[in-house]
Amino acid sequence: MADHLSLVQTADGSSTIFNQLVGENYHSKHGALQESQHVFLKSGLQHFQQLSVASSVSVLEVGFGTGLNFLISADYCRTAGLNLEYTGIEAYPLSEEMIFSTGYDQYVSAETWTEFKENYSSVLGSPKDFNEYCRLEISPIKLMEFDSSTMFDVMYFDAFAEIHQPEMWSVEALTHISRFIKPGGVFVTYAITGNLKRAMKSLGFSIEKAPGAPGKREMLRATKNL
């Protein structure tokens, strides 16, 4: 494992990774699993599904990290019978050793975990079908370098906090990445600040304060205007 990365346990018993170079965990210390389930799956993907009644969904994640958001989303889509196209942006992909030491296999089906383990390395920079319903690609580039002909239904914005990574939350970065969200698409993130709300509103999104995950009172959900 890289010397600057270490596994830590969060309040709900699930683990996350602490990045010493950044000075922050990959997930909330109040509960990695709870945060992923609440902010991204429930408030993002499931919210979009309820609005659209779609049989398929495309997700773009900014900050793929440990893969937890993908794993619980893929597992949900397997159960719900939804086709999932998932792209994660991750400038610094974690090693297989680090990813597979998280213990996230206990939170998803054996099939989902096995497919993830077998395909993680091969989807770095190249999309691949995991099975008949799920396609994954991890783009090992920085956010401002990302480009795609695909427009996405849901964006999981899971960058490190603005205090540690201000460039990820800049108007320039948000302007660039929001281009890839479909009209009617949903943007979700664990954070909510005045600057973020103003930026997303200026980019043509309707802003909503949604209940936050444990440890946070509110989070931001934004829907791209038609």
pLDDT digits (tens, 9 = 90+) for 69-124: 999 999 999 999 999 999 999 999 999 999 999 999 999 999 999 999 999 999 99
Task: Report the 10 Å Cβ neighbour count for 164.
Answer: 13
Pick the CATH number of 31-224 from 3.40.50.150, 1.20.1440.230, 3.40.50.12140, 3.20.20.70: 3.40.50.150
Structural domain spans, the chain = 31-224
pLDDT above 60 (res 1): no
3-state secondary structure of 28: coil
Six-digit token string for 110: 């054996």
Cα separation, 166 vs 65, whole angstroms: 18
Closest CA to 152 of 65, 73, 87, 72: 87
pLDDT for 130: 86
Q: Residues of the chain with pLDDT > 70: what percent?
A: 100
User: Parallel, antiparallel, or unpaired for β 15-19 and 5-9?
Assistant: antiparallel
